[in-house]
Amino acid sequence: MDLSLQDAVHIPLATPATASTLLRIHGRGGILRQQLRSVPKPRAKAHYSSHECIGDISDLKPKAQRLCLFRRVCLDTRSGEWLYFRRANVSLPPVLFERRYGSQFDFRHVSANGGTEEFLALNKHVRYKPHVRWSPTVVDGGTPSGVTWSAPLHLLSAPFVPTNLGHLVWEEAFPLLLGMVQLGVYDEQAVVLRTHACNQSAAGEAVSASEARLCAKFVAGFIAPLQGREARAVEDVAALRARLFPRTVCFQRLVAGGHTSTGSIRGCNPTC
């Protein structure tokens, strides 16, 4: 091989921790050391939330028929706040268009007089029972680094009358099943996440030990089967926060809303 003395031969040395060094041999053997810039580490890919809904999305009130599938929403286990991450400085479609207030870009609406309307109803609406309503908080920017990701489909639910078997089956378990079907995401291994445990009351009232035991039996018999045949215990939000504290947990898919009274389901089409 004919190698000209004018050709440069590059001999890589062991790479230091901070920079790369090359030996450059020029001409008749002159040797120069050349420091190269270290290659920056690639940034972690940012993740953003998205959602799709069926039902009434033209009213600020959390309509019972409104049912949504959220992707990449997170729960801050320290504050208990649900977070929806959106791209900053990018034009996005509104969450809903309300006939009085126009386009709404946040899930939670606060009126001029201080009243608040949440986006979704998590249990049946009746005047004599406490209502559990839910909205994620919109955050500009991607998910922070170091979050814990949960891959299974999660079903967010709130109890209605947890010690009444008929109400628990038809007003909580059945809407969860129907919601997966309506959104086209039915999963035999879905994970149910309840807003309240059996020893907690949505109204803040005391729950007796016998009521808690009865609720637990009903949940194990009629809600846990939605999670498959492994008979996994149904978890509530408070238990999940305690288990994962202080991390932020993000859900790849979360179904919420759609708690329509079974009396209105007769003759219902797939998107009612």
Q: Strand pairing partners for 32?
A: 24
> Residue 69: its pLDDT value, please?
98
pTM of the model: 0.79
Among 29, 121, 134, residue whose Cα is nearest residue 80: 134
pLDDT in tens, the chain (272 residues): 555 545 555 555 454 444 444 455 555 555 555 554 555 555 568 899 999 999 988 888 888 889 999 999 999 999 999 999 999 888 888 998 888 888 999 999 887 787 889 999 998 877 777 789 999 999 999 999 999 999 999 999 999 889 999 999 999 999 999 999 999 999 999 999 999 999 998 878 889 999 999 999 999 999 999 999 876 899 999 999 999 999 999 999 999 998 765 544 444 444 44
β-pairing verdict for 248-257 and 148-157:
parallel
d(CA 19, CA 35): 7
DSSP per residue over 186-226, as a string? Answer: --TT-EEEESS-TT--TT-----HHHHHHHHHHHHHHTGGG
Distance CA(167)–CA(106), nearest Å, equals 32
Number of Cβ atoms within 10 Å of the Cβ of 219: 22
* Residue 196 identity (one-letter amino acid): H
Phi, psi of 181 (to 5 degrees): -65, -45
The residue ranges of every structural domain in the chain are: 1-41, 50-261
**Rounded distance between C-alpha atoms, residue 150 and residue 144, angstroms:** 15
